[in-house]
Amino acid sequence: MELIRLIGVPMDLGADRRGVDMGPSAIRYASVTKKLKDLGHQVIDSGNLSIRTLGDSTLDLSSVAISKFGHHIKFEEEIAEACEELSKHVELALLKNEFPLVIGGDHSIAMGTLAGIAKHHSQKIGVIWFDAHGDLNTPDTTPSGNIHGMSLAVALGRGSGRLMRMFEHQAVIRPENVVIIGARDLDPGEKELIKDLGITVFTMHDIDRLGINNVMERAIKIVSKETKWVHLSLDVDGVDPQFAPGVGTPVPGGLSFRESNFCMEILAKSGCVRSLDVVEVNPILDKQNRTAELAVSLILALFGDTIL
């Protein structure tokens, strides 16, 4: 049984399309708290952090930083502030021996989750990045300026000065302890960084070739090697859009509903995951809350829900 701290982060500043700020509400509407309690867990819901969104009249919509490479980085200061606030909540949950379950919100919030873990836990951190994308763009490679496409790179020490400040200008995770699962849409700069750092990526081609069970066994071995903590960052666009239509950046050819649940079941059996963020649920683009319900199904599988 886990004592779970549910933290909502309704942020959409890291993405282009509106709606992902309503992700926490959609996941709660899909009864995540009740269903976790039905599994025997204790759940404390902290509610949502107070986050400015693109619809906030007090937000400067021209808030764009220019990197030293001349590229635009959108809402850098605002996102950094939000992630710093999230990191405090995650760190406090860990101090109370609670399992932080962070629900978003766009994928930039993962920086805040990882910052909070790093402040609490000084040992090497393993990370499973379940995503159609790499989120490994840097200020000199980003094609959009959207920070949700840079969050993993920042945690690896390849970010802008303001974003790196929350990590005290250091990498908080090492490339040899990171595994990306489900990738099928990588930008040229991301491919180069993957090669340069030696990050393990299981693309959909790899999953088709090796099989999902083999992939998960390899992934767990990598992220658990000489680490004391494993974090799962779960972007629902890792799942194929036919099962998860409510995402801002859908990419066809992803994991099936059953494959995704299997991943969570294997992780549950391993017992290695100690923190989780679930991101990019967009109710505006969804159909009858199917994507939020899928997200809850994956959360439940990670926390021990099984067929029998």
Q: Which residues are catalytic?
A: 107, 131, 133, 135, 148, 235, 237, 280
Domain boundaries, the chain: 3-302
Q: Per DSSP, which regions of 39-177 are E strands?
A: 42-48, 64-66, 72-74, 99-104, 125-130
Cβ proximity of 101 and 276 under 8 Å = yes
CA 308, chain centre distance (Å): 29
Express each pLDDT in 251-274 by its tens digit: 999 999 999 999 999 999 999 999
User: Where does the chain have alpha helices with state H?
Assistant: 23-29, 32-38, 76-95, 110-120, 151-155, 161-165, 188-197, 204-210, 212-224, 257-270, 290-302
> Domain 3-302: which CATH class?
alpha beta
pLDDT confidence band for 71 (50 / 70 / 90): low
125-130 vs 99-104, strand pairing mode: unpaired
Average pLDDT over residues 223-238: 96
Tokens representing 7 are 């933290």
pLDDT confidence band for 122 (50 / 70 / 90): confident
Average pLDDT over residues 227-245: 97
pLDDT confidence band for 286 (50 / 70 / 90): very high
Average pLDDT over residues 121-150: 94
Q: In 10 A of CB 270, how many CB atoms?
A: 16
pLDDT at position 54: 81
What mean pLDDT value characterizes the chain? 94
